[in-house]
């Protein structure tokens, strides 16, 4: 049977007619600001300018052998057979444009982007995703600039670009182009051409970029300029001040002002929801897109990722994790170009630290006229925020004095002003000022050792709180237990579990939102989510402690998220896990807070059960090291040693996380203890799970007879309890038969499992069984059937949101491509698989799923340069694009064989 006769995987498109596959270098160009230039010159003159621009560029492109694919307006799309030719054409074209005497001394600023990749020729037209990537590269450029992708740079010869030529490439760092994975970009520095440009118009670095602000940033021009200067001259700058002074907003604005100075990217790390200093490292790793290997100190991994890159790292709300300052010091010492901007209520006390105390907003003279009053920063903020709740609000002679007095009373503190401005919905500025005057005792209600401004802020929060009725105050205090916001269901369970408050919780939330004490945002699947600003949450926790309810509400919080984990556990191994993974992701701060309370309050049984149930979330979302760390702490906590179901859950979860990190000795130890514990508990279903775990460990050790015996024990125990895990044990047995060279027996064993999985509609087990069948079919060289089942398994894993399964199937299809004479395709699939394993920080054990090293085997069949391009192209694919490529019949051209002994790297 030919490949075209193979069954089509569910969801896969019908293969198009055969296409000619080509590797080409694409060049896109257009005039920056062409519409403005036409307005300034007039249509007739601009038409002549555009025509001359076309002549000059066409001549440069033609001389270099470029083939013009399309011209529209002021843009070009040209294809070259080599990267060298494309770059020379771009430089010659820009030089011709620069030398041309344009009307009125104007300069025609053309932006050019160059990228190399695979394309297809269909009916005389070139098509392919890499053409789109080239267009994105051009769109990121500025007028007069030539931007080159990393793939193209790797293909340039020393004779074209290098220290001995008049053309050099400048590293612009890693950028995320729209619809594509992050990649490194370069621009051209050439004699006779401009060399200074604004930052690229890309989506920025792959890091956690600066937060989007829903309200305007008012004032602070002087402060932004001062902090900008510090960031360009110092390596550690700390913005200090009490909560509510606007440290975070100033940090965002200052970081935005220096984006172009940090080609390595800017990473924003929000620490407001973290209270454990040990979690700062994982937070920084996540923000820098660093994978937590879990096998060495995380600080070393982060430092290795930063290296010599000029990166700006912004750490917001550092005060509650002050002991983590040591990690910041280590990173600064190890990374010579790293710059760190911190917001904190106090200094980090590190060598070279530059403090910048954030001042209050500028205040007006209450006796001044309304226009002059409106020019002050504090009043401008009040007016802007007042209009958010009452669009018709205007500063005029009737209210300007009252607004000035409010701002003065609140010492120009931004958060306090925002809280006061929100009251314009119901009160006039004069009424607000009067209430503030009557509440002077509240405004000074903070602890006596706090700075005056912080006491004022606490007073402002207390004033908003005091406007609530007693029931709403109780609700506000109880809501403060949520570390990362809450859904309506969670709020109802925590705030009014027994209905004793006698209030509709949704109405109560609306009341708190009206007072700016909480804000609503969109959660999973559009479900509303309610969140407090951190400083307001701190005030709420103080109220909760004062009420005597703190421990009871934290107990409710722990119980709620324990129940949520119990509901999520079976769904995390079902066919469609994506929804529940998203649910737990958005609740991760709450999960961590619940686990921390379980440890602090001695409720380790509940904590172990909660953590053990969510280990598959930590696995699939790349939190392996963090998940294993908290499970280890729980297992070592006082009172945790007792043989309980909770400890069993935690042992199983810890073993699973170590397994997916490929740390097999640690996994073995946890699994063996799990076996003994569940045996003592008499839990037959858990015992079946224990033997299943050990079967995989024996298979990894290549003790296939032992593995088969353990799978048989697991199968029998699952059958006894009616558990569906028996399917997994049978699939494991079939996998071992294949690994031990008994492919025919493996097919006979897995066939009934495929039928059973189809019958009961379990897509997860169906995908797993098809994966085993595909590898056995490859061993028997039944290539067409192998391809069909591998593609079906890939579709199922992708639809389930299972990244480990997707990575495994991409590798399987890569092996098949290598075996059937398609080394370029094999390398692309291998690159996609390896990149996905990197992104999830783990994957299936290679000794169970990988039969040979694709990179080494396929790399011997093509020239090293072509192999590198194919592997890099795979690594750059988004997961959905990699799946689409694997389901298609696309291939990369096979270049000349590599010289003997030179495999691709």
pLDDT of residue 221 exceeding 90, the answer is: no
Quote the CA–CA distance of 189 and 182 in Å, as a whole number: 23
Tokens linked to 884: 């689409």
Q: What is the DSSP letter of 260?
A: G
Is residue 3 within 8 A of residue 784, CB to CB? The reply is yes
The residue ranking higher by pLDDT, 244 or 400, is: 400
Of the two residues 198 and 268, the one the predictor is more confident about is 268
* Percent of the chain scoring above 90 in pLDDT: 50
pLDDT band, residue 443 (cuts 50/70/90): very low
Backbone dihedral region for residue 329 (phi beyond 0: left; psi -120 to 50: alpha; all else: beta): alpha
Cα–Cα distance measured from residue 833 to residue 813, given in angstroms and rounded to the nearest whole number: 10
pLDDT reading at 444 higher than 80: no
Residue closest to 463 by CA, chosen among 410, 510, 425: 410
Quote the tokens at residue 458: 């606490």
* Of the ranges 408-422, 745-759, 889-903, the best mean pLDDT one: 745-759
Residue 481 banded pLDDT, cuts 50, 70, 90 = very high
* Longest CA span, the chain: 94
pLDDT of residue 159: 81
Band (pLDDT 50/70/90 cuts) for residue 105 is confident
**pTM for this prediction:** 0.65
Q: 């398609």: which residue's tokens?
A: 822
Report CA torsion sign: 286, 289, 292, 297: negative
Interior angle at CA 10, CA 5 and CA 11, nearest 5: 110
pLDDT average, residue stretch 591-613: 96
Which pLDDT value is given to residue 182?
66
Cα–Cα distances (Å) from 843 to 29, 82, 623, 781, 834, in that order, read 42, 37, 13, 26, 9
Strands 266-270 and 353-357: unpaired
Predicted pLDDT of residue 207:
63
pLDDT at 19: 59
Nearest-angstrom CA–CA distance, 653 and 314:
33
Residue 203 reports pLDDT greater than 90 = no
d(CA 424, CA 46): 52
- Please report the beta strands in 442-552, taking only residues with DSSP state E, as ranges in sequence order: 486-487, 519-522, 528-531
pLDDT 10s digits, 38-77: 888 888 999 999 999 999 999 999 999 999 988 888 899 9
Distance CA 329, CA 768 (A): 46
Report the first-to-last Cα separation within the chain, whole angstroms: 35
- Supply the angle between the helices 377-389 and 414-421 in degrees, to the nearest 10: 40
Radius of gyration of the chain (CA): 31
- Selection from 266, 277, 206 nearest residue 838 by Cα: 206
Give the residue-averaged pLDDT of 470-494: 93
pLDDT of res. 369: 79
pLDDT exceeds cutoff 90 at 413: no
Q: Assess whether pLDDT exceeds 50 at residue 904.
A: no
Instruction: Give the residue with greater pLDDT, 478 vs 374.
Output: 478
Output the pLDDT for position 449. 45
Q: Which residue has the higher pLDDT, 770 or 5?
A: 770
Above 80 in pLDDT, residue 168? yes
* Chain mean pLDDT for the chain: 86
22-36, 504-518, 553-567 — which one is most confidently predicted on average? 553-567
Instruction: Dig out the tokens for 888 from the structure.
Output: 């298609």
Q: Residues in the chain, how many?
A: 905
Going by pLDDT thresholds of 50, 70 and 90, the confidence category of residue 895 is very low
pLDDT interval class at 664 (50, 70, 90)? very high
Reference 806, options 736, 885, 872; nearest CA is 885
Higher pLDDT, 241 or 862: 862
pLDDT band for position 553 (50/70/90)?
A: very high
Dihedral angle sign, alpha carbons of residues 828, 829, 830, 835 = positive
pLDDT digit string (tens) for 254-265?
Answer: 998 888 788 888
At residue 512, does pLDDT exceed 90? no
Cβ atoms of 78 and 61 closer than 8 Å: yes
* pLDDT confidence bin for 106, thresholds 50/70/90: confident
> Does the pLDDT of residue 209 top 80, yes or no?
no
What's the token pair of residue 586?
A: 């958005």
| Separation CA 810–CA 794 (nearest Å) | 7
Q: What is the mean pLDDT of residues 830-837?
A: 92
- Residue 315: name the closest of 282, 284, 356, 277 by CA: 284
- % of the chain exceeding 70 in pLDDT: 90
- Antiparallel, parallel or unpaired: β 146-149 and 110-122: parallel
Q: How confident is the model at residue 446 (pLDDT cuts 50, 70, 90)?
A: very low
Two tokens at 53?
């621009």
- What DSSP line would sit under 284-314, residue for residue? HHHHTT----SSS-HHHHHHHHHTT---EEE
Give the model confidence (pLDDT) of 851-890 as tens digits.
Answer: 899 999 988 898 989 999 999 999 999 999 999 999 998 7
Say if residue 3's pLDDT is above 70: no
Cα→Cα distances 8→40, 788, 829, Å:
57, 7, 19
How far is 878 from 886, CA to CA, in rounded Å? Answer: 12
Comparing 285-294, 436-445, 629-638, 877-886, the range with the smallest average pLDDT is: 436-445
Cα of 547 vs its chain's centroid, Å: 39
Residue 94 and residue 115: Cα distance in Å, rounded? Answer: 17
Residue 438 has a pLDDT of 61
- Structure-block tokens of residue 278: 């040990």
Where is pLDDT greater, at 696 or 526?
A: 696
* Mean pLDDT of the region 181-206: 78
Q: Is the pLDDT of residue 898 over 60?
A: no
DSSP-assigned beta bridge partners for residue 343: 239
Give the pLDDT of residue 531: 87
H-helix or E-strand spanning residue 359? none
Half-sphere exposure of 328 (CA within 13 A, CB side): 29
């Amino acid at each position: 049977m030919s490949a075209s006769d193979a069954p089509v995987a569910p969801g896969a498109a019908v293969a198009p007619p055969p296409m000619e596959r080509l590797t080409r270098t694409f060049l896109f160009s257009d005039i920056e600001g062409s519409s403005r230039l036409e307005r300034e010159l007039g249509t007739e003159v601009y038409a002549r300018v555009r025509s001359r621009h076309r002549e000059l560029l066409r001549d440069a492109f033609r001389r270099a052998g470029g083939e013009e694919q399309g011209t529209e307006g002021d843009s070009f799309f040209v294809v070259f057979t080599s990267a060298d030719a494309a770059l020379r054409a771009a430089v010659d074209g820009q030089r011709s444009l620069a030398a041309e005497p344009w009307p009125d001394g104007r300069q025609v600023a053309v932006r050019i982007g160059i990228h190399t990749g695979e394309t297809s020729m269909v009916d005389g037209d070139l098509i392919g995703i890499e053409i789109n990537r080239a267009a994105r590269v051009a769109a990121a450029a500025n007028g007069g600039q030539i931007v080159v992708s990393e793939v193209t740079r790797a293909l340039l010869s020393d004779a074209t670009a290098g220290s001995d030529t008049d053309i050099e490439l400048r590293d612009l760092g890693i950028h995320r182009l729209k619809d594509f994975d992050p990649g490194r970009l370069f621009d051209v520095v050439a004699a006779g051409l401009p060399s200074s440009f604004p930052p690229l118009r890309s989506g920025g670095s792959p890091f956690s970029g600066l937060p989007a602000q829903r309200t305007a940033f008012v004032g602070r021009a002087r402060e932004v300029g001062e902090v900008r200067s510090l960031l360009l001259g110092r390596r550690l700058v700390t913005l200090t001040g009490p909560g509510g002074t606007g440290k975070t907003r100033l940090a965002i604005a200052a970081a935005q002002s220096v984006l172009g100075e940090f080609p390595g990217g800017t990473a924003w790390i929000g620490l407001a929801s973290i209270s454990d200093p040990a979690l700062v490292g994982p937070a920084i790793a996540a923000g820098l897109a660093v994978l937590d290997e879990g096998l060495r100190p995380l600080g070393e991994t982060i430092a290795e990722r930063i290296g010599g890159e000029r990166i700006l790292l912004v750490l917001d709300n550092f005060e509650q994790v002050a002991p983590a300052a040591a990690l910041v010091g280590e990173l600064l010492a190890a990374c010579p170009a790293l710059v760190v901007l911190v917001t904190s209520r106090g200094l980090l006390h590190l060598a070279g630290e530059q403090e910048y105390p954030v001042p209050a907003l500028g205040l007006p003279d209450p006796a001044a006229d309304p226009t002059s009053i409106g020019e002050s920063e504090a009043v401008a903020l009040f007016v802007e925020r007042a209009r958010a709740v009452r669009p018709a609000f205007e500063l005029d002679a009737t209210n300007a004095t009252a607004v000035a007095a409010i701002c003065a009373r609140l010492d120009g503190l931004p958060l306090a002003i925002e809280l006061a401005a929100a009251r314009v919905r119901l009160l006039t500025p004069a009424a607000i000022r009067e209430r503030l005057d009557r509440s002077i005792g509240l405004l000074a209600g903070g602890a006596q050792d706090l700075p005056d401004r912080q006491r004022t802020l606490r007073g402002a929060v207390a004033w908003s709180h005091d406007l609530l009725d007693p029931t709403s105050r109780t609700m506000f205090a109880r809501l403060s237990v949520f570390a990362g916001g809450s859904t309506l269901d969670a709020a109802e369970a925590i705030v009014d579990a027994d209905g004793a408050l006698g209030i509709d919780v949704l109405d109560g939330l609306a009341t708190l939102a009206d007072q700016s004490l909480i804000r609503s945002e969109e959660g999973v699947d559009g479900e509303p989510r309610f969140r407090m600003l951190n400083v307001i949450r701190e005030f709420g926790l103080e109220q909760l402690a004062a009420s005597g309810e703190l421990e009871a509400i934290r107990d409710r919080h722990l119980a709620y998220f324990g129940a949520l984990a119990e509901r999520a556990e079976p769904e995390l191994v079902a066919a469609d896990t994506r929804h529940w993974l998203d649910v737990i992701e958005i609740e991760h701060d709450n999960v961590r807070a619940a686990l921390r309370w379980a440890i602090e309050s001695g409720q380790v049984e509940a904590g172990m059960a909660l953590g053990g149930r969510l280990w598959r979330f930590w696995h699939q979302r790349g939190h392996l090291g963090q998940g294993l760390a908290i499970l280890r702490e729980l297992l070592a906590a006082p009172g945790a040693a007792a043989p309980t179901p909770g400890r069993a859950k935690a042992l199983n979860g810890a073993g699973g996380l170590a397994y997916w990190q490929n740390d097999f000795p640690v996994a073995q130890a946890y699994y063996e203890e799990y076996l003994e514990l569940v045996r003592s508990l008499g839990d037959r279903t858990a015992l079946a799970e224990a033997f299943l775990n050990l079967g995989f460990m024996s298979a990894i050790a290549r003790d296939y007879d032992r593995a088969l015996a353990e799978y048989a024990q697991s199968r029998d125990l699952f059958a006894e309890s009616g558990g569906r895990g028996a399917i997994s044990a049978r699939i494991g047995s079939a996998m071992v038969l294949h690994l031990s060279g008994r492919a025919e027996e493996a097919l006979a064993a897995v066939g009934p499992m495929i039928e059973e999985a189809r019958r009961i509609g379990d897509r997860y087990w169906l995908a797993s069984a098809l994966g085993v069948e595909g590898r056995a079919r490859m061993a028997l060289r039944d290539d067409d059937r192998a391809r069909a089942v591998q593609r079906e398994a890939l579709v199922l894993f992708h639809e389930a949101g299972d990244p480990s399964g997707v990575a495994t199937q991409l590798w399987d299809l890569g092996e098949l491509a290598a075996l059937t004479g398609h080394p370029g395709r094999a390398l692309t699939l291998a690159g996609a698989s390896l990149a996905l394993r990197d992104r999830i920080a783990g994957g299936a054990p290679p000794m169970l799923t990988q039969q040979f090293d694709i990179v080494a085997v396929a790399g011997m069949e093509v020239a090293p340069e072509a192999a590198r391009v194919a592997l890099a192209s795979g690594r750059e694919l988004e997961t959905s694009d990699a799946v689409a490529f694997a389901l298609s019949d696309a291939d990369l051209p096979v270049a000349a064989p590599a010289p003997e002994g030179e495999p691709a790297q």
